[in-house]
Amino acid sequence: MQNNNQGKWNLATLAIHGGHQREAFGSLTTPLYQTATFVFDSAEQGGARFAGEEPGYIYTRLGNPTTAELERKMALLEGAEDAAATASGMAAVSSALLTHLHAGDHLVASKAVYGCTFALMTTQLTRLGITSTLVDFTDMNAVEAAIKPNTKVLFCETPVNPHLQVFDLTAMANVAKAHNLVSIVDNTFMTPLLQQPLAMGIDMVIHSATKYLNGHGDVIAGIVCGNAEHMHRLKYEILKDFGGVISPHDAWLILRGLKTLDVRLTRHCDNAEVLAEYLDKHPKFSQVFYPGLSHHQGHRFIGNQMKRAGGVIAFELKGNKQDAINFVNRLGLFTIAVSLGDAESLIQHPASMTHSPYTPEARLAAGITDNLLRISVGLENVQDLIADIEQALL
């Protein structure tokens, strides 16, 4: 039985209890239904389920009880009618886009996006006859100017990967509605506990659940949230036929991770705020990109669009690319790895790692320089992290 008071709960409570239905044997934790297929009582029942005349599970690619609980919980957290769990963050991005785009269509996206999202838009979708224009989403006039008669979608991340630029979601939603477009936002860096794009008029929200939602670096997964009509098409046409569905075991691990999301995010944000202030005052760093800093372009959105600035910091080390690489290699506590949202603090070099699919020209246009570094601030003692940076600068 599902608690009917869920709509009144705080997000921290929803992350633990939201979407949970009492299981037949009274298990406190959600059971892991590690099965490929489900048994029918009769041939007639199987036919009725395939026809959509009777509720129930058929085959895990089409739905699974463990996965369904994760989807219910994420829909509640994002304030959506429904959600779909996918096999990766990129499966979430591609599924969301393919739900709305066909051959001959066009989308407008922000100049800076995750490297594989950039490659999907500029290479893979092009093969399907779908074109893209990448513009500066801080300028809604530029966004409107890029809209064509065949434009169907506006897409952005905010804060942006990797340099944390922040976009006005209400303005984006208004432009989308004025032109009858679908607006899609990647909310990975914020999670629904820090930002809820649907509440600002955005149509569809994406997460790489690999990151903060899971929080333990042991899952690859994605989430898409939206209205019932969009999600039904995404689940039962795009995911069903392309097959990018999540494993029930991965869904189970994310459900476990979500129980600590609120307390983890608090520590991530606390540590990042201290570390960003330290980096910003240090003479060996030319620029620090973090919305929690008063001089950052996105600082004005904190307290309205964003509750806090998150746990990711980007910065430019004075010097060239090799100086940046040497600094990374001298670090001892920070782990050199891509991804974010784990307990461990991670550092990576976007130009040669996460954003390597960009051409050099497109990378510079997106503001991704050769000496830019990105940190995912973990849960360690922040003074230990500062000490590690100090020794690496010697």
Q: Which of 49, 57, 72, 114 is catalytic?
A: 114
Do 95 and 234 touch, CB atoms closer than 8 A? yes
Q: Which of 73, 111, 211, 363 is catalytic?
A: 211
For residues 80 and 199, what is the distance between their CA atoms, to the nearest angstrom? 9
Residue 43's contacts (CB-CB under 8 Å, 6 or more residues apart) are none
* Residues β-bridged to residue 108: 133, 154
The CA-atom distances, in angstroms, between 172 and each of 3, 175, 278, 370 are 35, 5, 33, 30
Q: Which of 59, 61, 262, 321 is catalytic?
A: 61
Q: Could you confirm whether 211 is annotated as catalytic? A: yes
Residue 4's contacts (CB-CB under 8 Å, 6 or more residues apart) are none
Q: Which of 105, 186, 203, 250 is catalytic?
A: 186
Do 391 and 284 touch, CB atoms closer than 8 A? no
Q: Could you confirm whether 61 is annotated as catalytic? A: yes
Catalytic residue set: 61, 114, 186, 211
